[in-house]
Amino acid sequence: MKSLEKKLGYTFQNQALLAEALNHSSYANEHRGSGMCSNERLEFLGDSVLGFVTAEFLFCTNPDLPEGDLTRIRAALVCEQSLYEVAQSIDLGAHLKLGRGEESGGGRTRASILADAMEAVFAAVYLDGGISAASQLIHRVLLKREQEEVEKRRDYKTALQELVQRKPDQALLYRMAGEEGPDHDKTFSAEVLLNEQVVGCGSGHSKKEAEQAAAKAALNALEE
C-alpha cells in the first residue's frame, strides 16, 4: 500500500482504514467468517466528505454564481465518471481486493467500483487525519482541475472593464506588442493600457489569449 500512499500524497497512521477502503463487498462476503468489513460504510461517509469539501470550494471560488449553478457544477464534479477518472489517475484498481467473480468480470476497471472505492479512500483519510487532510487530498486529485477550468472560463477583459468603470473618464486600450514562432505555433504578446499607461502584459497562442493574459495581469496589479 506504500505505492498507493505515495500517489495519494498521504501516509496513514492507521493502515487498517486504508485496507478497509480497498475491500469490495464481494471480497468481504467471501471472507465473512473473518469479520472483515467491506468499504461500503466508508463510501457512505466519503460521499458526504466529498460533497462538503466540493461545496465549500465552489462557494469560495465562484462568489457570483447562484445556487442552481453551484449545484450543477458540484454534481458534475462528484459524479461517477469524475471519481472514476481520479481513481484511474492513481491506479486505484490495482490495489482493490475483489471477490473471485468480480475479479474475473473485470471489476478492477469498472467505473462504479472504482468511483465507490475513491469515496471510501476520501473517508479513510478523513477518519485518519481529519477534514484538513481529506480536503487537501480532494483538492489535489479532483478540485485542482476544476480551478484550472475556472481560470480558463473567466473573462478577464470584462472583469477589467468593470473594474475601471467604477471611476469616470477611464480609457482602456489593448495593443499587440509582438509575435514570434512559426505560423503553426505562434506566440503573441499583448499590452493593456489604462489612460495611456501600460498596466498589464501577457502572451498566448492567439491574439485573444494574449489580451486575456494581459487583462489578468492588469487586474492583479490594480487589485493590489
Q: Which residues are catalytic?
A: 47, 119
Q: What residues contact residue 126 under an 8 Å CB cut-off, 6+ apart?
A: 45, 46, 49, 133, 134
Q: What residues contact residue 168 under an 8 Å CB cut-off, 6+ apart?
A: none
**Can you point out the beta strands (E) in 33-186?**
172-180
Question: Residue 85, annotated ligand binder?
Answer: no
- The enclosing H or E element of 102 equals helix 100-104
- The enclosing H or E element of 153 equals helix 144-153
Question: Residue 183, annotated ligand binder?
Answer: no
Question: Residue 67, annotated ligand binder?
Answer: no
**Cα 185 to chain centroid, rounded:** 29
Residue 187's Cβ-count burial label (10 Å; 0-12, 13-18, 19+) is middle
145 residue type, one letter: R
Query: Residues annotated as binding site for Mg(2+)?
Result: 43, 116, 119
Query: Residues annotated as binding site?
Result: 43, 116, 119
